[in-house]
């Protein structure tokens, strides 16, 4: 039989004891002999973790467990952010939670920004590679600089277009969008089509 471990996260309305982590095994009622060592039932108490004081050894397993449980148990964005500073994994998880809690409009803007960043990186890389090819005839250092400059210019223009599209959704005038992004009014008007 393979080892089976059950982990239960408990909070309000379910109280076993005052421990943050309780482990149970199956045993015979009268003689208290253990039935098997391949079955464990664990309970992690969010309320007990919330009451726990900061551990002396911040890197200990107990401290890490408490931080995880506090992170899971809180709805406070600031507390989550503070806990995220204690672990790279919690930091990554906090960023994902922040994305999941965005409004539909905010999420659309976020996804647009992420797509833009990816596009800029792709454009920059392709321009860099084109510059590298050109650099073979110009000289390596000059070719790299040329590729980087062209990639940055195209990426900046692409970013301005994406920003303009987002601003159009908010109902800003073509003139104001052109001023804010550095695009011409014709370029902004073309985005309506």
Label residue 53 left, alpha or beta by phi (over 0 means left) and psi (-120 to 50 means alpha). Answer: beta
Are 45 and 19 a contacting pair, CB within 8 Å?
Answer: yes
Q: Enter the tokens of residue 19.
A: 């421990």
Q: What is the pLDDT along the chain (193 residues), one digit of tens a residue?
A: 788 999 999 988 787 888 889 999 988 989 989 888 889 999 999 888 888 876 556 667 888 888 888 988 888 888 889 988 888 888 998 888 888 877 888 778 777 777 877 877 777 777 666 666 665 655 556 656 666 677 677 777 778 788 888 777 777 788 888 887 888 888 888 876 5
Residue 44, strand partner residues: 9, 21
Give me the residue spans of the domains in the chain. Answer: 1-48, 52-101, 104-190
**CB hemisphere CA count around 6 (13 angstroms):** 9
Q: What is the pTM of this model?
A: 0.50
């Amino acid at each position: 039989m393979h080892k089976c471990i059950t982990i239960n996260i408990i909070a309000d309305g379910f109280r076993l004891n005052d421990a943050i982590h309780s482990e149970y095994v199956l045993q015979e009622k009268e003689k208290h002999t253990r039935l098997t060592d391949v079955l464990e039932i664990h309970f992690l108490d969010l309320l007990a973790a919330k009451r726990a004081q900061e551990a002396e050894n911040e890197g200990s397993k107990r401290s890490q467990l408490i931080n995880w449980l506090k992170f899971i148990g809180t709805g406070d964005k600031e507390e989550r952010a503070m806990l995220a500073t204690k672990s790279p994994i919690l930091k990554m998880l906090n960023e994902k939670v922040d994305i999941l809690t965005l409004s539909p409009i905010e999420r659309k803007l976020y996804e647009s920004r992420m797509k833009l960043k990816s596009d800029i990186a792709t454009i920059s890389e392709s321009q860099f590679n084109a510059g590298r090819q050109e650099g073979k005839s110009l000289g390596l250092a000059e070719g790299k600089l040329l590729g980087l400059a062209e990639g940055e210019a195209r990426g900046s223009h692409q970013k301005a277009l994406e920003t303009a599209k987002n601003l159009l959704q908010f109902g800003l005038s073509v003139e104001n969008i052109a001023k804010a992004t550095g695009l011409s009014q014709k370029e902004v008007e073309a985005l309506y089509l």
